[in-house]
Structure 1
Amino acid sequence: MLLWLLLLLLLLILAPGRDQSGVAPKAVLVLNPPWSTAFKGSKVSLTCREFHSPDQGYTYWYHNGNLLEEKQKMITIKNSGDYQCKTQRSSLSDAVHVEFSSEWLILKASYPVFEGESVVLKCQGKEEKSITKKVYFKNKKQLPKHNLDSITLNSVSRDNSKYHCTASGGNFFKSWMVTSKPLSIQVQELFLQPVLRASSFQPMEGSPMTLTCETWLSPERPSIQLQFRFFRESQTLESGGSSSPELTIPAMGSEDSGSYWCEAEAETHSVMKRSLRFQINVQRVPVSDVKLEIQSPGGQLIEGENLVLICSAAKGTGMITFSWHREGTQRSLGRKTQHSLLAELQVFPVKESDSGRYYCAADNIHGPILSKRIRVTVRIPVSRPILTLRAPRAQAVVGDVVELHCEALRGSPPILYWFYHEDVTLENSTAASGGGASFNFSLTTEHSGNYFCEADNGLGTQQSHRVSLNITVPVSRPILTLRVPGDQTVAGDMVEFYCESPKGSPPILYRFYHEDVNLGNSSSLTGGGVSFNLSLTTEHSGNYSCEANNGLRAQRSELVTLNVTETSGNRVGLITAGVIGGLLCILGLVAAAAVLGHVRTQRKLGGLSAAGTFSKYPNLSLSRPSSIDPQDSTHSEPVAQMELQPVYSNVNPGDSNSVYSQIWITQPTKENLANSPRMHREDKELSVLYSELKKAHRDDSVGQASSRNRAHEDAAENYENIPCASLTSVH
């Protein structure tokens, strides 16, 4: 078998009638009937034709690539598949696919059909009489023609389109529809893709050159006329077309070098095919002495400007191709081909990444000649700098060391930085290799205010945003001042305690102390000191101090000693005051008893709380809003308010030699009366009035043994009215 194949191959090579390429023309396979699809069991015959030789000898048939035993010019087939044939004087034909279908409905296409020709599609069922409607589809989209036994498609091309059809029928009671299998139309090439050939690929300047556009037209369409066109690059070498596949250029010039290709077209069938491109280089005088120049002096540019690169050659003929390059990149920046010894390229706008070493090349087919390299530097103006204030803590304090850091994120070095405080220059520094600059200083109170910086690299100055710096000053040691009405403080005097820290950023919290007992506190929100008034008793003697704190540190004042002496005055006046005070006490006891029953009733109903206890300092009044330390007092539940209801009670401060008769009056608002039986502390204000009855000292035995007149006289001395104080809470 192998020997037989080798003998067949030798006969094909030696057979006459071959084309110019040395390959025998293809055989042509003809179908009868001329349809590519048939019902199974149908009779289909194949004929192998050879157009250039009537005596073709034996015919060789192939089914799906396998050689068949038949050697006749015509055979009958029954099986689906791809069929080919060849003769002793022809090469293998194109494959023809024949499909024998067992389906009820088939779609078949006429054969043969060539590019640009019309093809007939026929939808056929086994029982045509039962079909009432036929619809044709291309790529699953319905074609406009329907309900026809066959349709014609004009000017078909070689593509991968799929066709099918549907047939439907039925009556009023029942309808049906059948769909055929998809069909690909076998469109044959009208002529092969042309190949451009040249008499010389490197002609010398002045010599002729012949171009030939070769193709092969199907022998089944011998009447088709082809038109030929020739191109160099994108230009047509002759206006219009020619029926001749050859073109001769009498004298080639150096400008004729370039890429050539041809085009063949069958006008009546609107089929056009192009050859591949290939390069023809005309021999010429090589270029030499290539130089690169830059318009910008010294190769210095500012970002955003245009870079102009000029490439020139001292010698060279014909069309010269200039190209420009930057070191480190593979692709050229630009390319120009022209009949000139000089060309230029513009790069715009330039960026920082465009810095580097540049060179150019010139080539007229003999090989590129490179120029020397020239360095190009692209400088960047500084961007708006960013000023950063770096402090050791969130709130800057006098004495802290603060760093001002100024940095422009973009800009060619060196960069000069200037630092300003309220438009006053502080310092300047140069960043020689880029980056930012810093400036450190220790804070004083004068450093509060706005700061900004400037950056300049000789291409323009940029100013940063302003940054505010607020400096907190720790409090200094406060000074406690006592303001008394006279030279000597006696019981009953009203004394003002005033505490102030000379230095310190507000707000400042002041605390007052009597023998290290916290009397209360008050805040100064805008600076300065605070004060409070105190009606003195002998128990108020002792050492006083105050403390200032603004969150940075606390400072305690020096101790101030206060000596309170007993009062001495008109005994008759005291007796009179005592009698009046006694009467008030009696009235207070009567009223207190009446109110006490009412209060107990309200407690059972949930409307009244227990009465408060007496504070150690009932007459203390702060001149600013203050709060008493929770450790120094006990808060009771608020008392339910009653409109203008006085409550009288006797209060004994404990170890004191005085007894106080207290009158307690509340003044509620209408809104509180309407909404709630209980009142919060912040919803009422208590007015307190005390009448003081002094007790006899234990060692005053003489006074106890005196006569009735003496007792009456003593009683007159033991009464004293105490001024009212406004309290915000009951202790």
Structure 2
Amino acid sequence: MNPIIFLCVLSMLPQLGAPSEAPFRAVVEMVSGDSRIFSGESVRLKCSVPDVRSSWSHLWFRGSEQLPQRGQHLILWKMKVQESGKYYCKGVRDSQVGDLMTLQSLPLEINVDGGWVILQVPPEPSLVSDTLKVMCRARGTPPLHEVILYKDAVEVMRQNGLNPYFYLTNLTHEEQGVYSCRASWDIDRRTHSVISADASVQILDVLSLPVLEIVADSDLIPANKMKLICHLQYNARAPAPPINYYFYKNDIRLGIATSENHDLVRRTPGQYSCKAKVPVLGISRWSELKSFEQAKGT
């Protein structure tokens, strides 16, 4: 065989021992425990691969470090403060070309607190108009006689310690910030009053403000056409209801609603915009106007 051809064939083969990547992303979820716990408490995580046709093994990571544990479930027993961090997983299985691995899961962060009081908040961002439920919890669950919630170090509300839960209803972006809580209890005729570490709360719109992109590259799009793309972030809870996209030129709608966030239209000068609408939720958002001027000679 010609040496040059032989080298080309070798270069096209997978590197020896290097795993191939599958078009799936593993999913890590918390089965028991919480994203904020006291040292000495335990958490159980589960790794899933969205591929029911094959059998997968599971690898676990904290940050960039691969953990020795394998299997679909990861039990973090009596955790220590230094075990705080972002946990990931991957699926792996044998294939004809060697190990096949999924994409690494999105991170699940666990904070292990060595103190006496923690404020437990949901690990995922809340949405505008949602109700946020947080809990002020003391180590060992002593009988509390008062709990106080703070936002950005300013008192928000206080209540009897028999109810350690706080509810923030009909959320807006004003509720976004850094929260903490103070819990008070009596032991052996002494009053203990301890404040928790800070916990961040993020509030997202169900629909972000759309941004219209106009693609008029003649190398990619026919010379008499251009592509309108409506970019946005859709944060509805699963199962998310369908979203419709509308495209406009000079405030006149171009065609009918589409479930795709792009459309191919005639390349003509004008003011263009797009609208995203979720009919089931009664929510719609408009992009800002974007001008397009046809280049000379096109």
Residues 208, 264 of structure 1: alpha-carbon distance in 2 compared, 3 angstrom cutoff:
same
Note if 1:223 corresponds to 2:232.
no
* TM-score (structure 2 length as normaliser): 0.65
> C-alpha separation between the residues in 2 aligned to 1:6 and 1:159?
50
Return the match for 2:89 from 85, 98, 106.
85
- Conservation of the 8 A alpha-carbon contact between 1:115 and 1:271: no
| Deviations 1:395-435 (CA, angstroms, capped at 9, x unpaired) | xxxxxxxxxxxxxxxxxxxxxxxxxxxxxxxxxxxxxxxxx
Matching residue of 1:184: 200
Letter in 1 for 2:145: T
1:57 Cα offset (Å): 1.6
Instruction: Give the Cα separation in 2 of the matches to 1:109 and 1:130.
Output: 21
Report the identity percentage. 16
Residues 146-195 of structure 1: per-residue CA shift (max 9 Å, x gap): 33311233447699721111112349x75442111111247799789978
Residue aligned with 1:110, SS: coil
User: Which residue identity is paired with 1:365?
Assistant: A
Of the structure 1 ranges 208-217 and 162-171, higher mean CA displacement relative to structure 2 is found in 208-217
**Equivalent residue number for residue 98 of structure 2:** none
Matched, 1:106 2:36: no
CA distance in 2, matches of 1:224, 1:143: 34
Is 1:140 aligned to residue 147 of structure 2? no
Tell me the CA shift for residue 72 of structure 1: 1.8
**Which stretch shows the higher mean deviation, 79-88 or 150-159?**
150-159
Listed as ranges, the gaps of 5+ residues in structure 2 are 1-13, 93-100
Letter in 2 for 1:98: I
2:259 to 244, 255, 259: 244
Aligned to 1:65: 64
Q: C-alpha separation between the residues in 1 aligned to 2:58 and 2:148?
A: 41
Do the aligned partners of 1:229 and 1:236 also contact (CA within 8 Å) in 2? no
Q: Distance in 1 between matches of 2:39 and 2:154?
A: 28
Given candidates 95, 102, 109, the residue that maps to 1:97 is 109
TM-score normalised according to structure 1 size: 0.30
Distance 1:85 1:278, change over 3 A: farther
Residue number in structure 1 paired with 2:177: 161
Corresponding letter in the other structure for 2:200: S
Paired letter, 1:33: S
8 A Cα contact 2:33 2:42, kept in partner: no
Structure 1 Cα separation of the partners of residues 235 and 52 of structure 2: 15
| Whole-angstrom distance in 2 between the partners of 1:193 and 1:91 | 29
| Residue 115 (structure 1) shift | 3.8
Describe the superposition over 1:682-719 as per-residue Cα deviations: whole angstroms up to 9, x where unpaired.
xxxxxxxxxxxxxxxxxxxxxxxxxxxxxxxxxxxxxx
Q: Which amino acid aligns with 2:88?
A: Q
Which is richer in helix? 1
Q: Which has the higher contact order (CA 8 A, sep 6+)?
A: 2
Change in Cα spacing, 1:127 to 1:62, as seen in structure 2 (3 Å) is closer
Q: Is the 8 A contact 2:30 2:44 kept in 1?
A: yes
Q: Secondary structure at the match of 1:225?
A: coil
1:260/1:223 Cα in 2 relative to 1: closer, same or farther (>3 Å)? Answer: closer
**1:131–1:67 distance in 2 versus 1, CA, 3 Å:** same
What corresponds to 2:165 in structure 1?
A: 150
Question: Could you say which residue in structure 1 is the equivalent of 2:97?
Answer: none
- Bigger strand share: 2
When residues 211 and 50 of structure 1 are mapped into structure 2, their CA distance, relative to the original with a 3 A threshold, is farther
Distance in 1 separating the partners of 2:106 and 2:64: 12
Distance, in Å, in 2 between the alignment partners of 1:197 and 1:28 is 31
- What SS is found at the alignment partner of 2:269? helix
1:552-701 equivalent positions in 2, closer than 5 A: none
5+ unaligned residues in a row in structure 1: which ranges?
A: 19-23, 282-363, 368-731
Residue 254 and residue 59 in structure 1: after superposition, are their counterparts in 2 closer, same or farther (change >3 A)? same
**2 CA distance for matches of 1:4 and 1:236?**
55
Residue 7 of structure 1 corresponds to which residue in structure 2? Answer: 18
Q: Give 1:183's aligned amino acid.
A: A
Cα distance in 1 between the residues matched to 2:203 and 2:54: 28
User: When the two structures are aligned, how many residues end up with a matched partner?
Assistant: 264
Query: 2:46, 2:104 → 1: CA distance?
Result: 14
Matched to 1:152, the amino acid is Y
Report Cα offsets for 1:495-552 as digits up to 9, x if no partner: xxxxxxxxxxxxxxxxxxxxxxxxxxxxxxxxxxxxxxxxxxxxxxxxxxxxxxxxxx
Which residue of structure 2 aligns with residue 611 of structure 1? none
Cα displacement (A) at 1:221: 1.4
